[in-house]
């Protein structure tokens, strides 16, 4: 893959506005995303994150402002934008009745690629889904579904990937699985724009973080820059208690794979 250094930002948004009837969802949004970086849009429900993603992926039209993806204008060059992107929406957009492999083959065919079967098998392997590949997606866990969803988004190596709240509704293991997948993506030079309402997710993944509030971006910077907005850190003594998540993950002893081997442990009095 050729690194495009001089091509300018992978995503450029200027003065984007959008209203749904009375409700002003976006009130002038500006930001740039550099090629090959992970950019997180952080905001609570209703902040306008999904609206931005839908406009950038050509599903909605902005009322005002300009936006370009991979150098193509989203309003006037929608076809070129669609060639450059992949969208993973808020709910895993997978076909429940098809098997995992059939889902991947379908997307490969729709992207008009040679040899969809091989592409599907490669991705099943990469996302630890080979064993489940022939099973109907309806039988998958939340984490597996999301992984398949992201695998489907990678077909055809789109330069820009939109992930709209990729871990909402997932259990802690599923979340870690998705994080690993996203990090791997950026490692391959793909530009990732992800939206999230979880602060730790942005902290874990993103090169730059923009905080979206009531339809405007109020802060935009790297994690270090954002931290400098607050008074310098004080040194305090705090006893480090494991969080319930630490306990859960330590006991389940899992970091990505779906293990069926149950280790029964009980906490409490031993005879």
The token pair at 109 is: 């065919």
Stretch that binds other proteins, among 109-117, 127-135, 176-184, 212-220 (CB under 8 A): 109-117
Q: Does 240 bind other proteins (CB under 8 A)?
A: no
Q: Minimum distance from CB of 91 to other proteins (Å)?
A: 5
Stretch that binds other proteins, among 41-49, 52-60, 208-216, 234-242 (CB under 8 A): 52-60
Q: Which of 80, 207 has the CB closer to other proteins?
A: 80
Q: Minimum distance from CB of 39 to other proteins (Å)?
A: 18
Question: 14, 15, 73, 82: which one contacts other proteins (CB under 8 A)?
Answer: 82
Stretch that binds other proteins, among 79-87, 194-202, 214-222, 239-247 (CB under 8 A): 79-87
Question: 21, 112, 234, 240: which one contacts other proteins (CB under 8 A)?
Answer: 112
**Interface contacts to other proteins, rule CB under 8 A:** 54, 57-59, 61, 79, 82-83, 85-87, 89-98, 102, 106-107, 109-112, 136, 152
């Amino acid at each position: 893959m050729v690194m495009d250094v001089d091509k300018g930002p992978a995503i450029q948004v200027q003065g984007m506005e959008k209203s749904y009837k009375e409700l002003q969802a976006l009130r002038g949004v500006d930001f740039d995303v550099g090629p090959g970086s992970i950019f997180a849009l952080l905001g609570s429900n209703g902040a306008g994150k999904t609206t931005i993603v839908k406009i950038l992926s050509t599903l909605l039209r902005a009322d005002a402002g300009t936006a370009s993806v991979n150098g193509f204008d989203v309003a006037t060059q929608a076809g070129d934008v669609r060639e450059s992107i992949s969208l993973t929406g808020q709910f895993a957009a997978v076909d429940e009745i098809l098997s995992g492999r059939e889902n991947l083959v379908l997307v490969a065919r729709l992207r008009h690629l040679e040899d969809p079967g091989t592409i599907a098998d490669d991705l099943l392997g990469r996302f630890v889904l080979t064993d489940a590949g022939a099973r109907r997606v309806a039988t998958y866990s939340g984490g597996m579904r999301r992984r398949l969803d992201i695998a489907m988004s990678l077909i055809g190596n789109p330069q820009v990937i939109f992930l709209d709240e990729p871990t909402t509704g997932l259990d802690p293991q599923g979340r870690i699985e998705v994080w690993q997948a996203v990090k791997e993506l950026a490692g391959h030079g793909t530009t990732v724009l992800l939206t999230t309402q979880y602060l730790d997710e942005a902290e874990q993944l993103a090169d730059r973080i923009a905080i979206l509030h009531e339809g405007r971006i109020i802060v935009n910077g790297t994690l270090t820059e954002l931290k400098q907005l607050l008074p310098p850190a004080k040194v305090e003594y705090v006893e480090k208690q494991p969080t319930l998540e630490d306990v859960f993950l330590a006991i389940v002893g899992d970091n990505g794979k779906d293990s069926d081997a149950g280790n029964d442990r009980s906490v409490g009095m031993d005879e």
